[in-house]
Amino acid sequence: MTGINRRQLGMGLGAAALGAALGGRASAQTNAAGAAGSSAAATDALSFPAGFEWGCATASYQIEGAVKEDGRGETVWDVYAHTPGKTTDGGTGDVACDSYHRYQEDIALLKALGVKNYRFSVAWSRIFPSGKGKPNQKGLDYYNRLIDGLLAAGITPHMTLFHWDLPTGLQGGWQSRDTAYAFADYAGFMAGKTSDRVKHIMTVNELRCFTDLAYWNGNKAPALRLPMDQVNQVRHHGVLAHGLGVQAIRAQARAGTQVGLADNATIFVPAIETAEHIEATKKAMREENAMFLTAIMEGRYIDSYLAAQGKDAPKVQAGDMKAIGSALDFVSLNVYTANTVRAADTASGYEILPHLANSPRMASPWLYMCPEALYWSIRTVSELWKPKKLYISENGCSADDPVAKDGKVYDADRVTYLRNYIGHLHRAVREGFPIEGYFLWSLMDNFEWEDGYTKLFGIHHVDFKTQKRTPKLSADWYRELIRTNRMV
């Protein structure tokens, strides 16, 4: 559906916004507006535009297994997961969902679900086992089989090039500027080899996670706790890798290849939907993400960030910021939770309100329920930076997921989570923001990083002893949403 059609739809349906977000029934007024639209599918207040891209997401280390096969090189996550005490119950990605061998089965799952889009990531160390140097054909062959299999099933591949599994062969990891150059070489190589078939490429996944959480908080690989000046340098190398990656992809990809990134900007929602709180929220969005998404969208580090970091600010070389600010075809956001902001009489002009002990949340302690995050993430990013297109590249949740007597997982809580978040996605669509698609995290239960296999996000249950995949209630729900292209 075109932007014009969406705006027409939005204008007609504005009055129904609240009703739809709450799962209410379409009113006579909205039905009339829908009938006036050009798309047959958009016939009521709860429909999505025809062609809205529904998908599922996964990542290499979390699902592939086969860590020593066909020349794959070691990564920081292999080391971390095998270090006693790092992951809950000692979980590793050695086998995970065994997707390296079972990718055909996974394609069949996607097909049965009716999703037409799949977001996967490439394990850098399968392509360049030590991060750079001579490419490994067998690793590339795997992704060619996956891509061809997806296309044969009528599913569009959306490829992420780095989802945290950094080759240990890269000395110094993200502390080294050379890693950004190595990433660009790898990114260009993959674009050259796959862009005849892959038209959507994301450089990196979640800058904050592989920089701050890995080199400052120390709870993601390589689990360091560096001083702030070094942390800022790691962050800089992360955004630089993205920017140089964009340039390398553009240099080597076929015309028409769309390039972006999947970032987990910290999301803010206004306490009350009034001009002053919305302004404060946008300000928080821009300032709290200054070292990541703001730098990428503006091609500079904003003054407040540089002032706050003082002598610890990153060391920037000529040309870096230009590369970092390379124009993008789309911006993808991983959205799980958010913080509430109010306008306040503080130096920054805003206050971020803390989550409280009884704030509702899902099975992961950090996963506070905040459905409006999906709307406000899209709106604040759109209004601040006007990206051409947006995607939600991840949204989903962990849940308790007990297996019932009949072998099925009835995850009604996950359905509630998804239904509410997608209700707010629908609002963003209705209001005409350029949101193209949505990827549910995750296709199936998988290795959840430091939580091992104790927090599971899948809409398919995986029996890790037998590798049997079984649709949960949430998969049935998502299938129906896709089939009708409508809130269900």
Which residues sit at the interface with ligand GBH, rule CB under 6 A?
59, 62, 205-206, 209, 219, 264, 334, 336, 366, 394, 441, 448, 457
- Minimum distance of ligand GBH from residue 27's CB (angstroms): 37
Structure tokens at 125: 């160390």
Cis before 474 (ω within 30): no
**Residue among 313 and 335 whose Cβ is closer to ligand GBH:** 335
- Minimum distance of ligand GBH from residue 150's CB (angstroms): 20
Distance CA 447, CA 214 (A): 17
CB atoms within 10 A of CB 250: 18
Which among 55, 46, 25, 38 is positioned nearest to 430, based on CA atoms? Answer: 46
Distance CA 170, CA 123 (A): 14
- Minimum distance of ligand GBH from residue 439's CB (angstroms): 11
**Residue among 323 and 443 whose Cβ is closer to ligand GBH:** 443
Distance CA 102, CA 124 (A): 20
**Residue among 290 and 444 whose Cβ is closer to ligand GBH:** 444
Distance CA 272, CA 384 (A): 19
**Residue among 31 and 219 whose Cβ is closer to ligand GBH:** 219
- Minimum distance of ligand GBH from residue 89's CB (angstroms): 16
**Residue among 71 and 452 whose Cβ is closer to ligand GBH:** 452
- Chain centroid to Cα 97, Å, comes to 20
Q: Are 145 and 157 in contact (CB under 8 A)?
A: no
- Minimum distance of ligand GBH from residue 333's CB (angstroms): 11
276 is catalytic: no
372 is catalytic: no
- Minimum distance of ligand GBH from residue 452's CB (angstroms): 12
- Closest residue (Cβ) to ligand GBH? 366
Task: Please give the full DSSP string across 170-208, using - where no structure is assigned.
Answer: STTGGGSHHHHHHHHHHHHHHHHHHTTT--EEEEEE-HH
- Minimum distance of ligand GBH from residue 52's CB (angstroms): 22
- Minimum distance of ligand GBH from residue 488's CB (angstroms): 24
Give the CA count within 13 Å in the CB-facing half-sphere of 122. 35
Distance CA 390, CA 3 (A): 13
- Are β-strands 460-463 and 468-471 bridged in parallel, bridged antiparallel, or unpaired? antiparallel
Question: 3-state SS of 307-345?
Answer: HHHHHHCCCCCCCHHHHHCCCCCCEEEECCCCEEEEECC
**Residue among 13 and 261 whose Cβ is closer to ligand GBH:** 261
- Write down the catalytic residue from 64, 206, 431, 448: 206
DSSP state of 38: S
**Residue among 61 and 189 whose Cβ is closer to ligand GBH:** 61
- Write down the catalytic residue from 64, 288, 372, 394: 394
Name the one residue in this structure whose structure tokens are 């800022």: 232
Distance CA 69, CA 74 (A): 11
Rg (CA), the chain: 22
Q: Are 435 and 392 in contact (CB under 8 A)?
A: yes
**Residue among 6 and 86 whose Cβ is closer to ligand GBH:** 86
Question: What residues are labeled active site?
Answer: 206, 394
